[in-house]
A and B are shown apart, each in its own frame.
Chain A
Amino acid sequence: MAVRTGGRIRTIVLALLSLATAAPLIWMIGVSLMPKGAASAFPPPLWPGHPTLANYRELLFPHIDASGGATSYRIVPAIVNSTLLATLATVIGLGLTLPAGYAFAKLRFTGRARLLQAMLALAVIPTQVTLLPLFLMLKAAGLINTYAGVLVPGLAGIYGVLFVRQAALAIPDEMLDAARLDGASEWHILTRIVAPLLRPVVVTLALFTFLASWSDFLWPLIAITDQRLYTLPVALAAISREHGQDVELMMAGAVVTTLPVLILFVALQRSYFSGVLGGGIKG
């Protein structure tokens, strides 16, 4: 009996904590559906009385501004850029880290231990430290203001390699050796046996990489000067500098920027959690 009331109290505490955590996100959606100026009242309304999509229309489509000209916030191209860049970052990132992580775990080759130690040692370098020289290097290569320039810093995927290696260690050697006896090439083993086994880890890593690229702000802010190449966070920050007072419009922008990744995360949450929680290998 005591256990049950304890459980109930804990459930209520957790429910309140979860609600408090989610409140800003729920409010963000609510305000984005309010008519102009509604959110600035005191006390702030929690939910729109008459929901409207006007802010989204203004944000996403060309509209007539105060001086009579048609303007657009260029959010749609930014969505395309962000999606493209995050997808590229994910595909290239996994293409680099998955084979490497597996090789460090399971393939015997000269220098493996030493290379792995070097990777571990390099993991402590904060990427921010490299940004200044990287800018000069990319300028020399003519890659500033290109997609390639945005992608480059993310390619040194040490964490990805270590993450995949940790999971791949659990793969039984007999399985791989059996496949080798059957005459399978190493590439075949990687794509047909290892990758399916590591599915939760691959999904987790893919989601991680996608999210990191989608949300990255600091580097694209510097590496891109042409607004046609702006990513969503950079475009949103630029709009907020000019229209920061327009709370409802900014919240619509925040929803457009955040909702895609939230939906992606909810859809893949099972694999993701099991990947993070070291589920490692599919049973």
Chain B
Amino acid sequence: MVAREFLKSLGVSLWFMVLTFPLVVVRVNTIENTIQWRWVNLAVVGVGAFVLSALWRWALARRENMQRSADARGGRGALRPWESAAWVRPLGAGLLVIFLAIPWFVSTYQTNILISFFLYVMLGIGLNIVVGVAGLLFLGYAAFYAIGAYAYALLNHYFGWGFWTVLPIGGVLAAVAGVLLAFPVLRLRGDYLAIVTLGFGEIVRLVLENWSALTGGPSGISNIDRPGLFGQEMTVAGTNIYIYYIVFVAAVLTLVVAERLKDSRVGRALQALREDEVACQAMGIDRVTVKLMAFGLGTAWAGFAGVIFAAKTTFINPASFTFFESAIILSIVVLGGMGSNWGVILGAAFLVLLPEYMRAFSEYRMILFAAAMVLMMVFRPQGMIPARSKQYRIVDRELELSGE
């Protein structure tokens, strides 16, 4: 048994050594006509593939067993400690206090990192409404982020409008754009919908890039006003802390709204639609309205986040809103757990905070994330912190007596 497993791993290891040989070992400089041989890498690949393939088979076997023994435990089982009522409040309160106090104890730079983190939390939760709750894969999310950011940048640049005026406008614009995009694509199948949104995202970016007269093209827009506080002059550090509180409140608000949404009529309708559209229509759920709401609710947050982002960096250009950015936000959602907002927070922490505090990690950040996306789909499609559906207990004497 062990011998057979060993041979299997050895086979896989050899296969990968052969397969990756040209790219991993050889490096050609066509200009100087020199060739670099990096044999060490081959050993790394060999050993890595050997170990990983053993793990892979073990995990696959485990998955099979889980599926067999799964007595439909999905979303039930014991409550995790932090979900029991005794824990939730103190834990939440503790976190709240920590995050409220943090900017006064760390440098401006650290505050900046945390601002990025909360922006990603907002984006992740927003996308989660569309992807996790409604089950519509969305690959152009950065476009709505861009709509928010450019709404503020342009209105500020041409009309001198302030941050607080544009904040709601940015959110509404992004939501309207989301609904307009959703209108024609709702009939589409899941994967087609994903590609249409990707196309839409790229079109938005290309228009921003080419319409120089309005948007400054690739040079972007600079000198965007920071948010004001009753007309007071603030230092950079002060403004930064101020923005931190804005984005913190916005992120908490996003979280609360999204959590409440799940248990609302619309939220339940969305989840039901995700599972079975036909049954829903039979039950009288208006498919179109509900899905449009999902899009609008999901994209509005990206608009808000965009406005805050523009106010924070004071300079934006189209390069910040590529497909790559959309993919990162999607990976936060996927890693964290589709439909689970706490998962998104964890995902954002992995993406933004880890590379910051582990320099060694930052070089391999993207490749690890990409690998995690694949592995998550294979072994844990529900994410790090899976979403749970609400449980209803029905007590019915007659049913019990009849032994059902």
The answer to whether A and B belong to the same complex is no
